[in-house]
A and B are shown apart, each in its own frame.
Chain A
Amino acid sequence: MTTSFMDVDVRPTLRAGGEPFGEIMAAIAKLQPGQGLRLLATFEPVPLFHVLGSKGFSHKAKEIGGGDWEVLFSPAAAATPADATPAKPASDTSAWPSPVQEMDNRDLDPPEPMVRILAATEAMANGEVLSALLCREPMFLLPELAKRGHAWRGAFEPDGKTYKILIRVGAAKEAA
C-alpha cells in the first residue's frame, strides 16, 4: 500500500521567526484516514517525532540540503499509543537553531553522559544548542539543567532505545 502525503512546508514560517506547531497540528487534523504528512522544515524537528509518534505516526527524516529537512510522517497500520508516558514537549515550541555540538553518549557508564553534557554546556555560548544521544532518560541531569537556566527538549527515538536530548544553553533564563 502506498501512502499519500499532504505537504506542509513550515520553512517560510520558521524563517520569519514564527511558530509552526499550530500549523502542523491543524494539518494533522485535516488528514484523511491512511494519509501521511510530508513536512519541510529548517531543522530536524525532533520534539515533533514524539508528539506525532504518540498519535500513531512513524517518521522518516532526511536532510535535503541547505540545512533543510524533509520528514515523512506515515500513519502506522496498527497504531497503538506508546506504552511509556510520553514526555511532554517543551512549552516553548519555537524553532531552535541547529546544534553546534552533537555527542553520542549511549555507550558511556552512568553518570559519564551527565558529566560530559554539563561540561559541554559550560563551554557553550547562550542560545547555542547541544544535541546528545543517550540510552535512557537523563533523570538526574534535568534538575541540574533547570538550575543552570538551560532549556531542553527530549524524547525517545522511534526505536524506543535511544533518547535524544536537545539542550539550549541559557534559554530558560532568557524566557524567565
Chain B
Amino acid sequence: MVGVALSRWTMSYFATAVLALIAAEGLMLAGIGYPHAAMAAPASLLLVHLVAIGWLSLLMCGALFQFVPVLVNRPLHSNTLPLPTLILLIAGLAALLLGFAQMGGTIQTPFGFFPAAAILLGSGFVLVLWNLGRTLWAARPLPLPARFVVVGLCSLAATVFLGIIFALVLGGVATKPHLLDVTALGLPIHVIAGLGGWLTFTAFGVSYRLLAMFMLAPELEGRTTRGALYVGSTALAVAIVGGMAAICTSTNVIWPIGAGGILGLLALALYGGDIQHLYRARKRRVIELNSRMAGVALANLAATILLGIALLLAGRFNGHVGVIVFLVAFAWLSGFGLAKLYKIVAFLTWLECYGPVLGKTATPRVQDLVTEPRAQKWFALYFVAVWIAALALLFAMPLLLFQVGVGAMGLATIGIGIQLMRTRRLANVAPALRLPKGTQPPHLLHSSVQPS
C-alpha cells in the first residue's frame, strides 16, 4: 500500500482532447459532415472519429491513467509509456482523418493513410490496454468500479479490432471476403462497442467512484451495482460477440443487437437507480459545479434513451440514428467529460502544486483554483446549445439553427477550456496565496512527479 502518484502525462491528454473537441465543433459549424452530408459520408466519418478518438478517447485514456490506480490502489504499471502512446494516437488519428479526406476526394495522393492509421492507432491503443491491463491484473481481485473499466477496455479492444479491419479493407490492403462482409455489416457493432462499451461503460465505472467521492456518498457495492455490471457486460457481449458471429454465419445482425439492446436497457435502469441513490444519499448537501453538471449529463443520457425508445416504437429510429449518436456524444459523454474535467484538473493541479507544502504553510483550497460562477455560465450555454442543435436535427428544422447550436457549443467549449487553463495556471488564486515558499507553478502540459 504505497498510494498513488500523479500521472505524468494526463494533462497533455486533456489538452489535446479539448482541442479536438473545439476542432470538431468548428467543422460542424463550417457545415462539414453530418447533417450537411449523410451519416456514412467520408466527411461525417472524419467528424465522428475526431470526436470519438480525438476528444472522448484521449480524455478517457488521460483520466484512466490517473484514476485506474486510484480505483485499485496500485501504482500505474508505467508512468512513462503514456507519452509515446499519446504520440502514436495523435499520429494515428491524423492518418485516419486524412484517410477519410482521401476517401472523400478532398485530398488526392496515393499514400495509404488508412493502413498507416491502422498501424499507428492499433499500436497506440495496444499500449493503453497493456499499461492499464497490467495495472489492473496486478490488483486482482478488483473492486466493482474497476470491473466496469475492465469491460470498457475489452470493448475498446473490440472497437479497435473492427476499426483496423475497416481501415485495412478501405485502404485496399485486405481483400478477404469475410473481412469485406465485416466492413459492410459491422458498423453498428463498431459504434456500440465504442460509444456503448468503451466510453459509456467505462464512464459508469468511474462515475460510481468519483460521484461518491466528491459528494460524500456511500460507495455502492450492492446487488444493483453488481447487476448493472453483469447485465451490462452480458448486453455488450451479446451485441459485440453475437453480432460478429452473426456476420460470419450470414445471420441478420439485428437479432444479437436487439437482444443486447434489451439487456442494455435493463443495465441502464439499474445504473440509473444507483446514481439516483448516490445523489440522494450524499452527505454533502451543497454540491460543486462538477457534480451538478454531471447530473445534467446523466439526465441527458436518460432523456436520450427515452427518445431512442420512442423513435423505435414509432418506427422512425432508422431515420434518426444521427440525433441519437449526436446526443450520446455531446449531451451525455461530452457533458459528463467536461464536468469531471473541471474538477479533475483543479484537484490534480492543487495536489501537484500544494501537496508538498500542506501543513507547512498557508495554502489555497482546491476550490480557490476555480471560479465556479464564471464556468457555470459556459456549462449552461454548452448544454442549451446541445439541446438546440439536437432539436434542430430531430425536427428537421433549417440547418442554420443546427449551426447556431454547434457554434454556441464551440464558444462554450472555448470558454470552459479557458477556465481549465486559468485553473492550471493558478490564475484564479489570490496572488498573495498563489505560490507560497517551496512551491513551483505547474507546467501546463505535464505534471512533475516528485521523487518520494
Contact = CB atoms under 8 A, between A and B. Distances in A.
A binds B: yes
B442 to A, nearest CB: 15
How big is chain B's contact interface, by range? 20 to 34
Interface string A104-144: 00010111001100111111000000000001111111111
A20 interface: no
Contact of A139 (B70, B143, B356, B366): B70
Contact of A85 (B3, B141, B347, B358): B141
Interface string A86-104: 0110000000000000000
Contacts of A141: 3
A88 B5 contact: no
A142 B359 contact: no
B10 to A, nearest CB: 14
B452 interface: yes
Interface string B3-16: 11100000000000
B452 A143 contact: yes
A119 B363 CA distance: 11
B346 to A, nearest CB: 11
Contacts of B358: 114-115, 118-119, 144
B355 A85 contact: no
Contact of A146 (B2, B141, B284, B356): B2
Contacts of B139: 85
Interface residues of A, number: 32
B142 to A, nearest CB: 9
Nearest to A83: B141
Given A83-B141, A137-B73, A143-B3, A111 B359 contact: no
B141 A144 contact: no
Contacts of A84: 141, 143
A173 interface: no
B284 A109 contact: yes
A85 B72 CA distance: 9
A60 interface: no
A120 B359 contact: yes
B4 A107 contact: no
Which of A87, A109, A135, A145: most chain B CB closer than 10 A? A109
Contacts of B365: 115
A110 to B, nearest CB: 6
A110 B69 CA distance: 17
A107 B359 contact: no
Contacts of B1: 87-88, 137, 142, 154
B218 interface: yes
A85 B363 CA distance: 34
A147 interface: yes
17 contacts: A83-B141, A84-B141, A107-B283, A109-B216, A110-B213, A111-B347, A111-B350, A111-B351, A115-B363, A115-B365, A118-B359, A119-B359, A137-B73, A142-B4, A143-B452, A147-B356, A147-B452
Interface of B: 1-5, 69-70, 72-73, 139, 141, 143, 213-214, 216, 218-219, 283-284, 347, 350-351, 355-356, 358-360, 363, 365-366, 450, 452
